[in-house]
Structure 1
């Protein structure tokens, strides 16, 4: 008996470095980094008439992302005049622990890996750009407020500068003219480019132990009249400025200036929290930041806050400082995670 062909795709999780909340506005920049923990999706032919999904992602993970990803690939296959066969998907994740997520973009990673694996199994070759666009069309149907930054990090890997597209435009284009046309047409606001890693600085990650819902926090902000206020415009302007300055610092290898911009990003998020009362900063996240700054580093919540992870950039030549930070984090209820940047997108394989 000939063994069934299988296709395996892996997509890394992500951390926001700067630009949270503001990046949901089309064309507004952010900096993200992919991490060396990933979601793995293995696709083979289903034995029955229906697609079957087995996963260790846990009950709190939103399985609609997997179903929606399969549906998006099916729409593209139909446009190409190709059949959409029933599939067997096996999904495993390093972005969870006993069903609890770390806040590393698991929904985005599983979307990217599922689309990549299902498309490859069905004979569709996707560029990075087309894979990202398919993933964003998928997630925007579930949550139109999501920026897509997590998808970009999972697709390209490494450190990236990202500007979010007009998701309403992309969804409407796909609905009117088809998915294929949406892949070929320029999306207003969209830009993704690679950045060099920070020179002389080491990334440290702490987990608060409390899962947070990015979708709920961003949706809560969208429901408030604050988004139509002068304070909102000031926040977006300030975020755009500091992300631009941080991007320039990365590109010229200026570690001290990058640290300054990360501190600015922390204070901008704290100001937003004070104005709107979203609960971005928890006791643990505040302690995470204060401890890192006490040794000359810079730190902030990564992503929407309210729990999940925080990041710190510390002097790479001062390992004693890093040990000190990890010890004090642990004493404050913050668990240091062994996470490093993923230098490139996780390799692909098939059998």
Structure 2
């Protein structure tokens, strides 16, 4: 294994189609899709010891140094915002470094450069940039050192890296960024896999069964077009999900009903995609929106902003189906519309723009092959 070459890896962003909030429970299904906007990570050997991270989200590169198996920022760097921008790259490098150490290799000395079209002028659209940069960074750092990883191993490394930052995250964004296309996803027990990696090593964690985990590609809708609207309001999925789970709701009868209902419509939507039944898919997306609205009304989470409500209404008015994508509270909403009805699609985009929703060109990506 060598680390002498420059390696470039890309990973797409994501949108949740159905199953938000419920998917954080291990083994509970969701549908996610990758989008045609990507994060690019370029890795080369560093000129000096440590790791340099340059990102188009911040004005200057940051230098980190190794303290054992962890990276710490060198003195004199800018404050928390800059460090947050590098957090997922740092965790990805540390996780791959643990795997390298198990192969008897020293901690990597790297220059890591990140660029992305999942934001504009530093404003993120809620397309899973943290997940995409983690997947791309894991793949680039591993390839730089000659590690041949399957798509599932890349996903597992990325999930180990993100779970160290936020154990509540489902990993659905990582699945979309790893496999591309439309994906049926069930999350593993993140506490279990973190403990497994700690006790038995990262390499063993890549090989062992992960309870609850299931990933399989799905065909896209046959005659429907996925339209995406950005509300102009960034939202924190981590804060919304963590806030809900700090309440007494988790484990309650309402929570159990939500998980059961979500499982039912996600499974039905999966069947609709696999059989090419667009009408059934639209029905299940409407059920998904209704269930999110019920959760929002009960727990007052703020999932449905005025912009997201208007986004859904515009799509429903022309016979489509729409809902918030992800945790809501801002970011993006999705609509499935008749692909042959160009006039209706244009009308929906116009109504969105009139209510402050920006249509985004983020068509889904095809499935990815092993690199």
Tell me the secondary structure at the aligned position of residue 37 of structure 2: strand
Corresponding position of 1:190: 213
Could you tell me whether the CA contact under 8 Å between 1:302 and 1:309 is conserved in 2?
yes
Corresponding position of 1:151: 174
Per-residue CA deviation, residues 30-86 of structure 1 (Å, 9 max, x unaligned), is 000000000000000100112101011345764211101000000000001122321
Give distance in 1, aligned partners of 2:128 and 2:108: 28
Query: 1:207 aligned to 2:230?
Result: yes
309, 334, 341: which one aligns with 1:286: 309
Corresponding position of 1:334: 357
Corresponding position of 1:88: 111
Could you tell me whether the CA contact under 8 Å between 1:154 and 1:345 is conserved in 2?
no
Corresponding position of 1:21: 21
276, 280, 288: which one aligns with 1:265: 288
User: How many residue pairs are counted as aligned between the two chains?
Assistant: 345
Per the TM alignment, residue 345 of structure 1 is displaced from its structure 2 partner at its CA by 3.0
Could you tell me whether the CA contact under 8 Å between 1:84 and 1:122 is conserved in 2?
no
When normalised by structure 2's length, the TM-score is: 0.91
Could you tell me whether the CA contact under 8 Å between 2:150 and 2:370 is conserved in 1?
no
Corresponding position of 1:168: 191
Tell me the secondary structure at the aligned position of residue 249 of structure 2: helix
Corresponding position of 1:38: 38
Per the TM alignment, residue 178 of structure 1 is displaced from its structure 2 partner at its CA by 0.5
Corresponding position of 1:56: 56
Corresponding position of 1:12: 12
Per-residue CA deviation, residues 74-132 of structure 1 (Å, 9 max, x unaligned), is 00000011223210011001101111100000000000000000000011111011000
Corresponding position of 1:77: 100
Could you tell me whether the CA contact under 8 Å between 1:206 and 1:311 is conserved in 2?
yes
Query: 1:298 aligned to 2:308?
Result: no
Could you tell me whether the CA contact under 8 Å between 2:53 and 2:86 is conserved in 1?
no
Give distance in 2, aligned partners of 1:331 and 1:289: 14
Corresponding position of 1:136: 159
Give distance in 1, aligned partners of 2:242 and 2:86: 19
Per-residue CA deviation, residues 151-181 of structure 1 (Å, 9 max, x unaligned), is 0000000000000001011001001111011
Give distance in 1, aligned partners of 2:316 and 2:369: 32
Corresponding position of 1:102: 125
Corresponding position of 2:64: none
Per the TM alignment, residue 327 of structure 1 is displaced from its structure 2 partner at its CA by 0.3
Tell me the secondary structure at the aligned position of residue 311 of structure 1: strand
Could you tell me whether the CA contact under 8 Å between 1:9 and 1:347 is conserved in 2?
no
217, 242, 267: which one aligns with 1:219: 242
Could you tell me whether the CA contact under 8 Å between 2:217 and 2:367 is conserved in 1?
no
Give distance in 1, aligned partners of 2:152 and 2:109: 26
Give distance in 2, aligned partners of 1:345 and 1:279: 35
Corresponding position of 1:237: 260
When normalised by structure 1's length, the TM-score is: 0.97
Tell me the secondary structure at the aligned position of residue 53 of structure 2: strand
Give distance in 2, aligned partners of 1:342 and 1:319: 21
Give distance in 2, aligned partners of 1:149 and 1:215: 13
Per-residue CA deviation, residues 203-241 of structure 1 (Å, 9 max, x unaligned), is 000000110000000000110000121000000000000
Could you tell me whether the CA contact under 8 Å between 2:38 and 2:118 is conserved in 1?
yes
- Taking the TM superposition and a 5 Å limit, the aligned residue runs for 1:104-119 are 104-119=127-142
Give distance in 2, aligned partners of 1:15 and 1:271: 21
Query: 1:319 aligned to 2:345?
Result: no
Q: Name segments (4+ residues, structure 1) moved above 4 Å.
A: 58-61
The alignment's C-alpha RMSD in Å is 1.2
